[in-house]
Amino acid sequence: MSEAGKSTNGRLLRRLVDRAGTHALACGPTDGAPGRFPGYILERRIGRGGMGATVYLARQISTGANVAIKVLPEEFAGDAAVARRFDREVRVMRSLRHPNVVRVVDSGGLPDGARFIVMEYLPSGSLARHLKEGKRFETASAVELIAKACRALSMMHDCGIIHRDIKPSNILLELSGNPKLCDFGLARLADVSNSSRLTESGDVIGTFGYMAPEQLQAKAKIDGRADTYSLGAVLYQLLTGSIPGGNARSPSVMRQDAAPFDAVVMRALETDPARRFATAEGFRQALLAAPDLNRRQAFRRIVVGGIALAGIATGVWGAWRSR
């Protein structure tokens, strides 16, 4: 990386760390809610993300269903072009259905101009919460979870939507453990609204660690492979307990039973997008094929071991007979 690039990243990192203290993930009553949401009764505040949005638990009056209402920060309200884009993105999100994508059910604006999105509510919370609470994932469950997330990415990429901010707090879990990705389209909106996505990030170092290297370069063209990198970083964290960083070692160095997935994870984390999986579906297929690979290797070891044993036995038999 050039010296200029390094210093830009250094400055960004300092700004990110400076902001870290301002993003308390508070849970509490509805204080600070910007107004009344027609058709919904607010229950409590769930949390506040780094982007400046606040999420509330609410009840939809017409259905009685619990929902999560995300109220977006001011920069989404001020500019008419951003507001139009917001409406367009939300329309697309509302039209999409996938078992691994959080459903957007409604959206709107408040009298003060604030815009909000209504989503299905997932009481189990995010993967970030589970990790924070010390949950450890078996290798097979971690791989299964990420393979499901790949399916969601694959559909979204086919629809031309890149997430750009895949990280544990944007992966929500159903009670069954089924993952659902949320916040599609929002990182892009933050870019359009001229708020620097990097400086507004919530889980500061975390978000920084999950971003594909090309996302840190101004004007770099971002495509679905950036999301695949981020998902690879999440898998790396689920397997090893740490975020990969620059010179990440293979997961099996920290966790032996992850060895069959070393090559797949490290390919997802390649610095050069051209060396990664071309698609999220490619990543998923490779994850699902890895255990087979492992079985094949085990079979080969058994065959080689068998031949070696047979050789030794023949030698011993021959030596015994010639006595």
Active site residues: 165
CB of 75 to ligand ATP, least distance (A): 13
Considering only 33, 71, 90, 119, the residue that binds ligand ATP (CB under 6 A) is: 119
Nearer to ligand ATP, 106 or 262 (CB): 106
125 binds, among Mg ion, ligand ATP, none (CB under 5 to 8 A by kind): ligand ATP
Q: Starting from the edge strand earliest in sequence, which strands make up the sheet with 104-109, in order? A: 40-48, 54-60, 66-71, 115-120, 104-109
CB-based burial of residue 217 (10 Å sphere; 0-12 exposed, 13-18 middle, 19+ buried)? middle
**Cβ-contact 182, 217 below 8 angstroms:** no
For residues 144-173, which are near ligand ATP according to CB under 6 A?
165, 169-170, 172
102 binds, among Mg ion, ligand ATP, none (CB under 5 to 8 A by kind): ligand ATP
CA angle 131, 250, 302 (to 5 degrees): 110
CB of 234 to Mg ion, least distance (A): 13
User: Per 3-state DSSP, what percentage of the chain is helix, strand, and coil (rounded to 5)?
Assistant: 50, 15, 35
**Cβ-contact 237, 168 below 8 angstroms:** yes
Distance CA 235, CA 123 (A): 22
CB of 263 to Mg ion, least distance (A): 31
For residues 199-238, which are near ligand ATP according to CB under 6 A?
201-202, 207
Nearer to ligand ATP, 26 or 254 (CB): 26
Nearer to ligand ATP, 165 or 281 (CB): 165
Considering only 108, 109, 125, 213, the residue that binds ligand ATP (CB under 6 A) is: 125
DSSP for residue 44: E
Nearer to ligand ATP, 49 or 260 (CB): 49
Instruction: By CB under 5 A, tell whether 183 contacts Mg ion.
Output: yes
For residues 62-81, which are near ligand ATP according to CB under 6 A?
68, 70
127 binds, among Mg ion, ligand ATP, none (CB under 5 to 8 A by kind): none
CB of 103 to ligand ATP, least distance (A): 9
DSSP for residue 38: T
> Can you list the positions of beta strands (E) in 1-146?
40-48, 54-60, 66-71, 104-109, 115-120
Query: Closest by alpha carbon to 213, among 273, 275, 276?
Result: 273
CB-nearest residue to ligand ATP: 49
108 binds, among Mg ion, ligand ATP, none (CB under 5 to 8 A by kind): none
CB-based burial of residue 76 (10 Å sphere; 0-12 exposed, 13-18 middle, 19+ buried)? buried
CB of 38 to ligand ATP, least distance (A): 19
CB of 229 to Mg ion, least distance (A): 18
Give the alpha-carbon dihedral of 162, 163, 167, 172, to 10 degrees.
Answer: -120
Residue 149, token pair as written in the block: 């997330």
Distance CA 249, CA 227 (A): 20
Positions in the binding site for ligand ATP (CB under 6 A):
46-47, 49-51, 53, 55, 68, 70, 102, 119, 121-122, 125-126, 165, 169-170, 172, 182-183, 201-202, 207
Positions in the binding site for Mg ion (CB under 5 A):
49, 170, 183
